[in-house]
Structures are given as C-alpha cells and as structure tokens.
Structure 1
Amino acid sequence: MAAPALAQTPAAAPTAHDFARNAQVDDVSISPDGKHIAGLVSQDGVTKVVAIWETADPDKAPTILGASKMQLMAVNFVKNDRLAVVAQQLWTYGATKAHLQKVYITDLQGSKWTSALPENRGKSDYEELMQAISNPSILSRLPNDPKHILVLNTGANGAGDVYKVDLYDGGADRVTRGSERFGGLEPDHTGELRARQKVDFDNGKVYVAQQIRDPKTGEWSEHFRSYAKDRNLTTVVGFSDDPNIVYVRVRQNGADKTGIYEYDVQQRKITEPAFEIKLFDADGPILDDDGKVLGFSYGADTGRDYWVDPVLAAAAKSLPAALGIKTVTLQWTDPAGGAPPSKFSYPDGAGVQITDWSKDKKYILVRKSGPNLPPEYYLLTDGGKLTLLGKSRPQINPAVLGESRLVQYAARDGLMIPAFLHTPPKDVYGPGPYPAIVLPHGGPSARDELDWDPSGWTKYFTARGYVVIQPQFRGSEGWGSRLARAGDAQWGMAMQDDNDDAAKYLIDQKLAAPDRIALFGYSYGGYAAFAAAIRPNGLYQCSIAGAGVAEIKRFQGETYNDRFLREYQRPTIDGLDPLPNAKNVSIPIFVYHGDRDQTVEVEESRRFVGALKAAGKTYKYLEIKDMGHQYTFMTPEMLETQLVEIEKYLKTDCGPAGL
C-alpha cells in the first residue's frame, strides 16, 4: 500500500542556508601556556577569520585576523605567541582547475604573515610552478623548543627535505635531505627523526619496511616488514618518554582489530599491549610534550578517547553530567564473528570530547556535539568552572532534527553490517513509514561517524520527514579486518547488496515505504548510486550520484602505475563498471559534479551522462562551478546548492510522482 504524501515541511525546519553556512565558531585551540584561545569565526556565514581571546577574560572582544584574497581553513597554536593558519584559494593552470592550500605563520596581532617554510626561487619555470603550489607540512611544533618547528618540504625543489624553522627570524636549517626511497618520517617529542618507511621488494612482492633510528647509535634499521597484499601495516604511532620504547599499531597475532603495543627497540620485540579494545580498532596514543601517555584514541560510534592521565580522566568523567549527556546501551554483534553478542554504551544524540588543554592542564577545551547537535565549545577551568565559548550553528534547533542511533542488520550472507539510522521527529511526521534515503559513504575504505554532519546530508532530510540510513557496508574501515576485507573486488556486487539490505531493513522495521526509497551517495557513494540505477533490483525509485566513480577500469589503471598500490589497493577494486552499463539504467538518475574535482575527474560524470543521453535514459545533470571533491573545497553556496537540488529532485523527479 502506498504511503501517505510527505507532510508539509514545518516552518521550524532549518533551511539549506542554515546548514550550509560556515560555522560561527570552529577549530578552537588553546596556547600551551593557557593564556590565549584561537578559533575560526564567521559572522556572515561566508567569510572566516581568526579570533584570539584572552583565556582569563573570554567575554572580552577577541583580536581578529583576516585574509583578503584567501579563505582561512584552519588555525592552531605552534608556540604561545605564534599561530599556524591554513589558507586556501582557487588555482587554474591551463586546463587544470584545482584548489591551493598554504600554511602560514603569524603572531597574535597578525602583524606579519610568513610561509611555514621560506620560499626559494626555482631553477626553471616548472620548479617555480611547483614551488607555488606546494604546501609545506608541519612535522612537529617542537613543544620544548621556544623558537623552532620542524617543517617538511613538499615542493619540486628539495621535496622531502626536513627543516628546523626559526619562527622569529625566519631562518631555516635543513635537518635531513629528502629521498624517493623513504617516507613516513616521524619525529619524537624532542624533534629527533626516529621513524621512517621504505617501500621495497622481496622476490617481486611489495613490502613496507618500518625503520627506527637507534636512540644510542643514531643508526637506521628495519624493525618491521609488512607486505602490501596482507594490508596489515605495522606502523610507529608514537614515542614514549623512554627513548627505547615506541608505540606501534598493528593487528597482532591474527586479530581482527588493530591495537597499540609497546615495542622495545633494543630487544626488537613487542613487549606488551598498551591499548586494545575488544569491539573496535585502536587508533593511537595521546602523548604530552615529554612523551608521557595521557590516553588513547579509538573508533566506536565515532572517534572516542580513553584517558589515563588523572586530570584529564577526572574531567572526562565529570563532563557528561555537567553538560547533560545521556547514554544508550546497545547489544552488539561483532562483524568479525565467533563471539557472543556483547554490550557497549555510547552518547544519546550528543557527546562530549576533550579537544585541547594547556600544558599545566589548568585550562581544558571541550566540544559538545552529536548527530543532533552542531558543535558547542566550552572552557573548563581548574577542573570545575565550565564556560560556554560559542555555538557553531545556533540557528539550528536540535529539537526538530529527529533522532539518530547506531544499529546493525544481517546482510543476505549473514555478515553483520553496522549502520547509522536517522529518523524524522515523530511529533511532526508520526511513527512511519517514511520516504527513505540510503546514503552509502565515500572511500570506500572509510566510514561514517555518529556525530554532527556538516554537509547536512542526514539532518537536513530528517527535518523534512525522510528516514536516512548510512550503511557501513563491507569494505568500510574502522570496524575490523573481516568487514573491510569482505569488500575486496565486490564493487556493485556484495558491497551493493549491503546497501540494498539496508533498504530492506528499513522496510522490515516499518520505517520506509517500499515504493518511496532513493539511494544517494557521493564519491564512492556516487558509484553506488550508478550501480543502484543499473542493477535490476527494483528497490529504488531513483538514485543521486555526486562526483561518482563511473569507470572502474580507469581507476584500476591509476593504481596499476604505483607498485605499492598495485598490490595494496588494486585487488580491492573490481566489479560492476558503470560506464559500459549505462544503457541498463532503469530508474531516473540525478548526476552532479564539481568542475575543479581533482579526486574523481568531472569527465567521468560527463561521459556517463553522455552514455545516458545516447541510450535515451531519464536523467538530470548539474555541474557546479569551482567545486572540488572534498568538503573543504566547497563553499557555503555550493553546499546549499546540493541540498536544494537534491531535495527538489526527490520531490519532483524521483520515480513516477516524486518521493
């Protein structure tokens, strides 16, 4: 039976402009001495500037630093009185259209801006060009050095060189020369380069050698050899306060999840687990300026931290009650299988995270956020006083966004698939069934988070009466090796089955009307939208493909040219190829793409649309001027355009009479 027509969108629902505008406050950090707080602010929702507050008087008007020709993207303290600022601008060279980002250093008054690495003239026009588009990377802020930072050169002239840069006189001394043989340079807390990686061959098999520098002799030697085909790289992720002990991340002894382990350099062996969590992958240690462990980060419903430092652990324990955080408990079946279901708890609607702190931990920065709450930033002083610094999107009322939760469903072959389920507000739209959107993520070696979605792709639609599900289909990372490896060479096949099974889950739960389901995705999710339109499963009334991969063979070819990727990534990419199958599209499809996309070239969508036109298929195509691939390369206007056009398409062109 057909579901009733979608209710009129209530006046209280946030507009596309509300979701798309830049945050009023974002990217907040604190100086090591705790005297200043910096962040990006935007009063008009378009232009971002740096704001600097005095911690002792956060209500005092901040100092404002701006840039007239570039968009500011990120800010962070590198010294008590110096900031690193990432700025971005459009760049065009012949037929190449892209976005450039640069790291600049400035004082707290903005009186002088310099590149993170002094720029030298190239020896040719090409080197001049490469110098202009290179973006040096800060390897370490050298917390115990009052004047210097470590910077990695990425330009054509001297790529890979590491410099010790004086932030006050502009001098730069080269610490080591770059080499095509080595990468993954990691300094310890003193600034010594202690780890690097080398790609090499063993009887034709590609491997990554993790090398470590001996703290006594200064000699480099190989400590771990990880073969690309195994996709289980042993990687140095931190240096302890003992120069002989480093932290490595790996799946140990056939485990499904990554853990963090202590490694003894002299004994050349892993001595003990530093951090393992039963249900999720561990990410890495959180270290202080002297290499002492403060905590560990890991993946769950979203990125979480486990604190061992007593001050930070006490703060983390007290904050949920202080900020009104509630939790829900979930019965969880590990996708790895082989174990009975277990339980874990996670925040309900919004959670709290410690994001930064002064060296003495007198001041702690806190972010409260969740799928139903745009980030809010607080200052915790002396473990007791909590001050609101700002709300990122006060124009959005969380009460009208519906609910979000982590769920699981069994795929048709029995594999348990995690998913994030977002339902409309019941007081407005009733208990369902609703029109539905299946929203697979990009990557595909990536995952979604149960946190605020700045794209608006989930909550914009729940506020308008749609149920949205984000399947963590096989091939997704962060949920363990079995789920990730199950996606190998299953593009458009078992991976796509998981998306279809998410739609069936919604129907079985009486949350989705069977004849009112669409699939929308971006990047790899855009590929999934192509596949949904081609496969004859009859589940979807339409599909929407944003910046989708339309040519698998072309993608395979790009990975073939790199020996490491040829063994590490290429075996995972195979399946249904959209372009040669465009003639089989059987439902309406909306294709859109940015013309400055450097990840998935816009020509892929153009060729796919050309094949649709030649086959007489029903489609809509939108090309967004100056838009890149990643979220950071999208202006508020571009984000708003996507939301408005997707909603319009769903209402008017999705299926016989719109969704």
Structure 2
Amino acid sequence: MRLTSLLRALALAGAFLGTQALAAEAAKTKPAIASFFENPEFSDAELSPSGRYLAVRLGSKDRRDMLGVVDLTTNAVKAVGNFSDADIGQYAWVNDNRLVFTATDKDLAPGDMRYAPGLYAINRDGTGFRQLAMRSGKPFVTNGSTLTSRELLPWHTYLTGQDGAQDSDYIYVQDRNYSSAGEFNYTNLLRLNTVNGRVASSVDRPGDSYYWLLDHNGEPRLTLTRDKATSMVWYRDPATKAWRKLTDFEAYTGRGGTFRPLAFGPDGTLYVLARNHSDTTEVYTYNLNTGKLADHPLVKLDGYDFRGELIMSKDKLLGIRHLTDAMGTTWLDEGMKAMQAKIDQMLPNTVNLINVPPRSETPWVLVTSYADFWPKRTMLYNSETGKLTLVGAAHPAIDPNQMARMDMVDYKTRDGLTIAAGLTLPQGANKNLPLVVLVHGGPWVRGSQWGWNAQAQFLASRGYAVLEPEYRGSTGYGSKLFHAGWKQWGLKMQDDVADATRWAIDKGIADPKRICIAGASYGGYATLMGLIRYPDLYKCGFEWAGVTDINLMYDGSWFYESDTPEDYKRYGMPVLIGDQVKDAEQLKATSPLLQASKITQPLLMGYGTADRRVPLPHGTRFYKAVKDTNPNVEWVEYEEEGHGWKLPKNRIDWWSRVEKFLDKNIGATP
C-alpha cells in the first residue's frame, strides 16, 4: 500500500471531518473561488534559537504585513517591523534578541516591481532598528528610523537562507554580482554586523561561487563554483582557510561527480547526497580526510531521490525530514519519536511536521499540519503540558468538508516504465467523470505530492477529476526516469502524459469524451502538443505562460527580455532539450507554433506581459497563428504579471475563466 493510500484511508476512517451529514451539507454549495486563490492569511512562524520567542508575520487582506514577536512566557505580542509602502518579506533570527528582515510588496506583480528587497534589522522589543542594504539604489526607511547618512550595502544584498551561529550580532549575507546585461556572475559572502551595519570581513572565493554552505557553527565551510559547463565543490579548511576541491559535475545536466553537499553536523560531519551505484540519491556521510563516502547510506528511500533536510539540535542529529509520496520525518532521537507519536495521536489524520529550535531551552516546538483536504496550519506544542495552540492557518476560509481526496497512483507507459501521478477525485463520485489532465512545468522538477493543492482542489470542487502525471524527465524518482526525458519534448514525454490519460480511461475514472489537458510553462507546451498529437484524446485545452517554440527559447525576441542564461542555452539546452543545428528537424516537428493549424479543439491561453522566463511573443505569435484556423480560442493577457500569476485578483480572474471554459466544453452531462 502506498503511503498516500494509508493516509487517505486514515482520513476517511476518522472523525476529523465530522459526520457524513456535515460533509453532505457542506457539499451542497460550491466553495468560493477566492477561498482557493487569495494570498494565504498566514504563511509562517519561526521560534527564536532558545525557543522563548516566536516571530510571526502579522497581516490581513487590507493592510501591510508586519513582523511581530510573541513572548511565549507571557503571551505578549509586539509588532516590531513594518513599512509604509511595503510588506515584510523574509525574516530570520540573528540571535535570541535580534532579527533581520527584507521588504516585499504583495500588491505588486513583477512588471510593476521597482525595488529590491533591501535588508533591515531590529530587536525583538522594537528597538535598535537599522537599515543594512538599499532598495534599488536608494535608502528606504520607515518613520522613526535612526539611519544616518552612512553608506548602505548595495541593493543586491540578500539573506543566505541559513541560520548561522545565532550567538552574536553577526550574520553572513550574500552580495550577488551581475553583468551589465543583468546575468548573474557570482556571489560574495560577507560577514555583517547587524547592529552597526558594518561588514567585518568577506570570504575569499576559489572561483565564481553560486552557493555557500555554513557549518553548524555558522561559519562558511563549503562553496559551489561554476566555470562554463562545470560545477565544482570546494571545502574550506577551518584551520588554514584554504580551499580544496572535493568533486565536480556537469552544471546543467547534473552528470558526474561523487556527491552533492547537504549539511554539516554538530560534530563537523559532512552529509551529502550520492547515487553510489543506485538509481536514486541517498544520504551518506563523507570523510573529508579520505575523500570517501561511508560504506552504507544513512537514508535510503525506496524509489525516491532524497529530498528534505537534516534536523539537528546544538549537539546532535535528531532526525531526517524527507519526501516520498508526502513529507515525513524519521526520528533518530527517542524523545522526538515519543513527541511525534503524541502529536500524531492528537492530530490523527494529518501530516504533522515538528520544527525544533536549534538551541532549545524551553518545551515549545512548532508543528506544521496538513492533509489533502486541509491546507497548512501552524501550531505551538508544549511538551510539558501536552497542549497544542493554533498560531495560524493558511486558508481558514477552506472548509475541509468541501474538499476532495487526493491519492498518489502509478501508471504504465507504452514502453514499460512505471510512473507516479497525483489523482484528485471530486466528492461523491469516482467513475465516468470529466477529467482535467494537469501537466506540471519545469520540466526537470517533481510535480505533485500528497497534500492540499489549490488548483486541483478548486477543479475538484467544480466536479472534475484531476490527474497530475509525472513523466520522463521529471525529477525525484531516480536517474533512469530523469535521463529518459532528455531530448523528448513533444515525443516520449508527451506519450507519457497520453498514457496516463488512457490509464484514467481504462480505470473507468474518466469519461473519454470529456477530457481537457492543461498546464503552465512546460505544462503549457505539453498542453499544445497534446492537442496536436492526440486530437481524439483531448476535447479541449487551457494553458498559461506556455512555451510555444523551442527555437524561440534559444533566439528570443529583440523587444522582450529573457532571463534564460546564455550558458544554459550553450551547455544545458542542447543536451536536455535539443541542439538547434544537430536536432533542427526534431525541433521543427515538436514546435507547437509551426503546427498551430492542427489544433481544432477549444483553447484558452493566458500570458503575462512582464514574463521574462517565457516572454510574451511565445503567446502572441501562437495566438496569431492558431486563430486563423480555429475560432474557439480565448486569449487573456495580464500586463503586470510575469511567469505565473502573483496577484490574487489575476488568479481569481484566470480560474474564473477556466471554470466557464470547462463548463462549456466538458462540464455538461454526456
């Protein structure tokens, strides 16, 4: 039995959702579209290093997000950080008394953004405010700031996303260097005093660094550099500060190399990811003296590449967070095992992820809880009292009684591969349903995992089954599946999506006359190619931000800027997608733009004017070509949006259009 099948069975058997009568009553009315696609009302919280204080983002639909701190001893809440023209972005604890944070704007889409995030610091009681880095070349200060006229760090200063030592007023920050054309060159690592704003030192680079890894003491110990098509892993000796190369691999294909770094343990052990004669990546320890992997992996997930993190206290490895069908935790510490068991007993039908303060001195831990029918909630658990306290819910307007069940299933391809897919079925029905085949973007990523998904749940709430197939080229399921997708855009990758669709028909889930294919980015490309190659399988299609021609990815458009790096075009795309010269005929045969006249089914298209990943000409050129022979094509353009929809109003508008489009084309009773 797959993990998700067990989780789903538990959810169905439990009383967590209330009685069947309640579920039936809730199902009479459709949940509002805004409840799916508004910004989350609560996104995150973070315990201080000791666990005595809790940092939270405070906000609502009609006001700017602020940074608040809760004293868990007294339950006193204080707003400590806010902007007049922006929202709190990222934030992190410097130590138990001080925080750093950035600015963002939840009301602006990429096309209207004019500022970098900047960098700021403040004490947990609201004192000691200091601006550390500029926003777009000019200081940005809230009222009451003590900023003087001194020079700030440049706008391209960013947080590392790593905790560091958290025992002083210093942090390491990234200074990203860009070319005059806007392409990323390398990242410098700076040691910054968050009280006076001065850089204490910078770390020497062995090359063009693009990733840094701090050790458990918060010191830079490893970096990844890139030179054309090659990435190199370098280790910094703590005594001499000299760099030593450990391994290298192909930067864009991932081929070669002994390992990829994961984390340093409290005792200095380097944990890495390696295949080591396996199809999937596993967690090993790496001996820095001998340059060898351990004989046996610490973590091996059957059928899955390791994706997750190591959970550590100040002095030992407590457990491993990992993704299989769903996220889960394997605890090595007996106390944490017992705590997990207690929390799971209190929340029996959800995935419950425990987050432990790095230098805990209190009984408090954070619990993130979710299920397929329930969006994420964040709670505090007190291990002494055994009580759970709700901190916030991402989408409190969502009624679990109205949500659908999701399962992870397997399907067979025509050439014998076994591939995973997510399947979400509307309440009360599981046969002969109208089906939406939702193809993930990337394509070199993992698609679905078990949990609540706004798009799939929205479609299911309108009566549609939703199939989210992985396909060759997807990551997370081993190298064989990933490599099988190279140079297969529009070919075997497309066949996999069709085979998944036919699996749903053969199982009696899908009505073969009411199937629509959909997706964004690469998923948009697959939507168009699906309509072209399998006109009898798909009644309609809707796509947004979709690639319409591979050569256009290479060549671009003189008037629209692309953020695709030139090195990726030179070293990555020819291997992964196709060489413009050697594979010229294949790229023509797999171009939706050159075959637009073959699409006769109804089609809905959406693009962002400010998209730099798939610039607007992908959409406008295809729309111009297809509408000449197909009267059933709808077009929407969001001028301020980039690659996908950031603003709730645009998400709501888009999915409202999708609802009408589907109802018109496959929603009617056959």
CA displacement, residues 584-635 of structure 1 (integer Å, 9 cap, x when unaligned): 212111110122222221221112112123445531110123222256xx12
Paired with 2:523 and 2:160, the residues of 1 have a C-alpha distance of 32
Give the C-alpha shift of residue 482 in structure 1. Answer: 1.3
Residues 68 and 603 of structure 1: CA distance in aligned 2, closer, same or farther (over 3 Å): farther
Which residues in structure 2 correspond to 1:592-631 (within 5 Å)?
592-630=606-644
Paired with 1:357 and 1:467, the residues of 2 have a C-alpha distance of 41
Which residues in structure 2 correspond to 1:21-36 (within 5 Å)?
21-36=38-53
In the alignment, which residue of structure 1 is the partner of 2:167?
A: 145
Paired with 1:227 and 1:165, the residues of 2 have a C-alpha distance of 33
In the alignment, which residue of structure 2 is the partner of 1:199?
A: 226
Does residue 235 of structure 1 match 2:251?
no
CA displacement, residues 324-356 of structure 1 (integer Å, 9 cap, x when unaligned): 22xxxxxxxxxxxxxxxxxxxxxxxx3111134
CA displacement, residues 107-140 of structure 1 (integer Å, 9 cap, x when unaligned): 3355565455478979xxxxxxx98752523264
Paired with 1:367 and 1:152, the residues of 2 have a C-alpha distance of 29
Q: Contact 1:38/1:50 (CA < 8 Å) preserved in 2?
A: yes
Paired with 1:556 and 1:258, the residues of 2 have a C-alpha distance of 31
Residues 86 and 382 of structure 1: CA distance in aligned 2, closer, same or farther (over 3 Å): same
Residues 96 and 372 of structure 1: CA distance in aligned 2, closer, same or farther (over 3 Å): closer
In the alignment, which residue of structure 1 is the partner of 2:581?
A: none
CA displacement, residues 63-96 of structure 1 (integer Å, 9 cap, x when unaligned): 3743331233443333223333342248999x99
Paired with 1:56 and 1:143, the residues of 2 have a C-alpha distance of 24
Residues 505 and 72 of structure 1: CA distance in aligned 2, closer, same or farther (over 3 Å): farther
Paired with 1:87 and 1:29, the residues of 2 have a C-alpha distance of 17
Residues 75 and 217 of structure 1: CA distance in aligned 2, closer, same or farther (over 3 Å): closer
What one-letter code is carried by the residue in structure 1 that aligns with 2:340? A
Q: Contact 1:213/1:219 (CA < 8 Å) preserved in 2?
A: yes
Paired with 1:237 and 1:565, the residues of 2 have a C-alpha distance of 28
Q: Contact 2:98/2:124 (CA < 8 Å) preserved in 1?
A: yes
Paired with 2:643 and 2:154, the residues of 1 have a C-alpha distance of 21
Secondary structure (helix, strand or coil) at the match of 1:607 reads: helix
- Which deviates the most, 493-502 or 107-116? 107-116
What one-letter code is carried by the residue in structure 2 that aligns with 1:388? L
In the alignment, which residue of structure 2 is the partner of 1:354?
A: 354
Which residues in structure 2 correspond to 1:293-442 (within 5 Å)?
293-325=317-349, 350-357=350-357, 359-360=359-360, 362-382=363-383, 384-426=386-428, 430-442=429-441
> What are structure 2's unaligned runs of at least 5 residues?
1-25, 139-151, 180-184, 557-562, 579-586
Paired with 1:507 and 1:493, the residues of 2 have a C-alpha distance of 21
Secondary structure (helix, strand or coil) at the match of 2:249 reads: strand
What one-letter code is carried by the residue in structure 1 that aligns with 2:195? Y
Does residue 645 of structure 1 match 2:657?
yes
Match for 2:574 among 562, 566, 570?
570
Paired with 1:179 and 1:609, the residues of 2 have a C-alpha distance of 48
Q: Contact 1:135/1:155 (CA < 8 Å) preserved in 2?
A: no
What one-letter code is carried by the residue in structure 2 that aligns with 1:152? Q
Residues 160 and 232 of structure 1: CA distance in aligned 2, closer, same or farther (over 3 Å): same
Q: Contact 2:94/2:167 (CA < 8 Å) preserved in 1?
A: no
Q: Contact 1:39/1:75 (CA < 8 Å) preserved in 2?
A: no
Paired with 1:594 and 1:364, the residues of 2 have a C-alpha distance of 41
- Which deviates the most, 103-112 or 273-282? 103-112
Residues 131 and 596 of structure 1: CA distance in aligned 2, closer, same or farther (over 3 Å): farther
In the alignment, which residue of structure 2 is the partner of 1:337?
A: none
Secondary structure (helix, strand or coil) at the match of 1:439 reads: strand
Give the C-alpha shift of residue 184 in structure 1. Answer: 2.2
Paired with 1:38 and 1:265, the residues of 2 have a C-alpha distance of 37
CA displacement, residues 184-213 of structure 1 (integer Å, 9 cap, x when unaligned): 222212233221223348xxxx43221212
Paired with 1:601 and 1:99, the residues of 2 have a C-alpha distance of 21
In the alignment, which residue of structure 1 is the partner of 2:18?
A: none
Which residues in structure 2 correspond to 1:135-174 (within 5 Å)?
135-138=157-160, 140-156=162-178, 160-174=187-201
What one-letter code is carried by the residue in structure 2 that aligns with 1:595? T
Paired with 1:656 and 1:14, the residues of 2 have a C-alpha distance of 17
Paired with 1:473 and 1:520, the residues of 2 have a C-alpha distance of 15
CA displacement, residues 557-595 of structure 1 (integer Å, 9 cap, x when unaligned): 589974466444531214511211212212111110122
Give the C-alpha shift of residue 548 in structure 1. Answer: 0.5
Q: Contact 1:358/1:364 (CA < 8 Å) preserved in 2?
A: no
Secondary structure (helix, strand or coil) at the match of 1:627 reads: coil
In the alignment, which residue of structure 1 is the partner of 2:530?
A: 532
Paired with 1:444 and 1:162, the residues of 2 have a C-alpha distance of 31
Paired with 2:274 and 2:666, the residues of 1 have a C-alpha distance of 47
Does residue 69 of structure 1 match 2:85?
yes
- Which deviates the most, 176-185 or 315-324? 176-185
Q: Contact 2:210/2:225 (CA < 8 Å) preserved in 1?
A: yes
Which residues in structure 2 correspond to 1:73-84 (within 5 Å)?
73-84=89-100
Identity %: 25
User: Over aligned residues, Cα RMSD in angstroms?
Assistant: 3.3
CA displacement, residues 498-542 of structure 1 (integer Å, 9 cap, x when unaligned): 211222122112221111110110111111111122224411111
- Which deviates the most, 258-267 or 415-424? 258-267
In the alignment, which residue of structure 1 is the partner of 2:445?
A: 446
Paired with 1:453 and 1:485, the residues of 2 have a C-alpha distance of 29
Paired with 2:114 and 2:524, the residues of 1 have a C-alpha distance of 20
Give the C-alpha shift of residue 165 in structure 1. Answer: 1.1
In the alignment, which residue of structure 1 is the partner of 2:514?
A: 516
What one-letter code is carried by the residue in structure 1 that aligns with 2:300? E
Paired with 1:435 and 1:637, the residues of 2 have a C-alpha distance of 27
Secondary structure (helix, strand or coil) at the match of 2:223 reads: strand
What one-letter code is carried by the residue in structure 2 that aligns with 1:374? P
Paired with 1:648 and 1:570, the residues of 2 have a C-alpha distance of 40
Secondary structure (helix, strand or coil) at the match of 1:26 reads: coil
Paired with 2:613 and 2:533, the residues of 1 have a C-alpha distance of 25
In the alignment, which residue of structure 2 is the partner of 1:330?
A: none
Paired with 1:351 and 1:388, the residues of 2 have a C-alpha distance of 15
Paired with 1:419 and 1:172, the residues of 2 have a C-alpha distance of 49
Give the C-alpha shift of residue 284 in structure 1. Answer: 5.3
What one-letter code is carried by the residue in structure 2 that aligns with 1:443? G
Secondary structure (helix, strand or coil) at the match of 1:487 reads: coil
TM-score of the superposition, structure 1-length normalised? 0.84
Secondary structure (helix, strand or coil) at the match of 1:163 reads: strand
Does residue 39 of structure 1 match 2:56?
yes
Q: Contact 2:372/2:404 (CA < 8 Å) preserved in 1?
A: no
Residues 141 and 497 of structure 1: CA distance in aligned 2, closer, same or farther (over 3 Å): same
Residues 133 and 220 of structure 1: CA distance in aligned 2, closer, same or farther (over 3 Å): closer
Paired with 2:240 and 2:128, the residues of 1 have a C-alpha distance of 41
Residues 657 and 365 of structure 1: CA distance in aligned 2, closer, same or farther (over 3 Å): closer
CA displacement, residues 356-392 of structure 1 (integer Å, 9 cap, x when unaligned): 4362262110011122101111111125222222322
Secondary structure (helix, strand or coil) at the match of 1:470 reads: strand
Does residue 54 of structure 1 match 2:54?
no
In the alignment, which residue of structure 2 is the partner of 1:220?
A: 243
- Which deviates the most, 469-478 or 262-271? 262-271
- Which deviates the most, 491-500 or 352-361? 352-361
CA displacement, residues 451-477 of structure 1 (integer Å, 9 cap, x when unaligned): 4456x2100111111100110111111
Match for 1:264 among 262, 284, 287?
287
In the alignment, which residue of structure 2 is the partner of 1:339?
A: none
What one-letter code is carried by the residue in structure 2 that aligns with 1:259? E
Q: Contact 1:294/1:308 (CA < 8 Å) preserved in 2?
A: yes
Residues 628 and 48 of structure 1: CA distance in aligned 2, closer, same or farther (over 3 Å): farther
TM-score of the superposition, structure 2-length normalised? 0.82
